[in-house]
Amino acid sequence: MLLFEEETSKIINACLEVHKELGNGFLEPVYQEALEKEFQLQKIPYEREKKLNIFYKGQKLDKEYIVDFLCYDKIVVELKAVNNLVKEHKAQVLNYLSATHNQVGLLFNFGVSTLKWERISKFEDV
């Protein structure tokens, strides 16, 4: 069984619903706003554009990451609207996980005709 499998399945289903309704071709902020509405409809707990603290050797840095969504207080959700997800997109999510001590992230690409996503764990290599 995957860590947070039930929660990640609900998030994926919400993203599928948004993509089914809007299709591809919009900019990322459109999908972000629509997904916020879908999270509300499906009663998925979230924080939008959540500021995440970054730590260096146990000390909090002034610089913060801003993740598209933090769901269930533990799952990083990052949206893209691009032709292809690239290694740097996955690295961005891994950095969020590593810096914030969260364990699971979901990376979505709304920029293609069929929604693409990756489940990312900080225990995986880029």
Q: What is the pLDDT of residues 15-54, one digit of tens each?
A: 999 999 999 999 999 999 999 999 999 999 999 998 888 8
Measure the CA–CA gap between 55 and 6, rounded to whole angstroms.
29
Residue with tokens 């809007």, as numbered in its chain: 22
Tokens standing for residue 80 = 């893209």
Cα separations in angstroms, 62 against 53, 56, 98: 8, 11, 16
Does this model's pTM top 0.85? My answer is yes
Q: Is residue 29 part of a domain?
A: yes
Domain that holds residue 32: 5-121
State the CATH number of the domain containing residue 13: 3.90.320.10
Evaluate whether 14 touches 113 at the Cβ level (below 8 Å).
Answer: no
Q: How many domains does the chain divide into?
A: 1
Higher pLDDT, 88 or 100: 88
Q: Is residue 126 part of a domain?
A: no
Q: Is residue 10 part of a domain?
A: yes
Residues 6+ apart with CB under 8 A from 30: 22, 81
In which band, very low, low, confident or very high, does the pLDDT at 99 lie, cut at 50, 70 and 90? confident
In which band, very low, low, confident or very high, does the pLDDT at 83 lie, cut at 50, 70 and 90? very high
Q: Is residue 16 part of a domain?
A: yes
Q: Is residue 113 part of a domain?
A: yes
Residue with tokens 């005709």, as numbered in its chain: 113
User: First and final CA of the chain: distance in angstroms?
Assistant: 22
Measure the CA–CA gap between 79 and 28, rounded to whole angstroms.
7
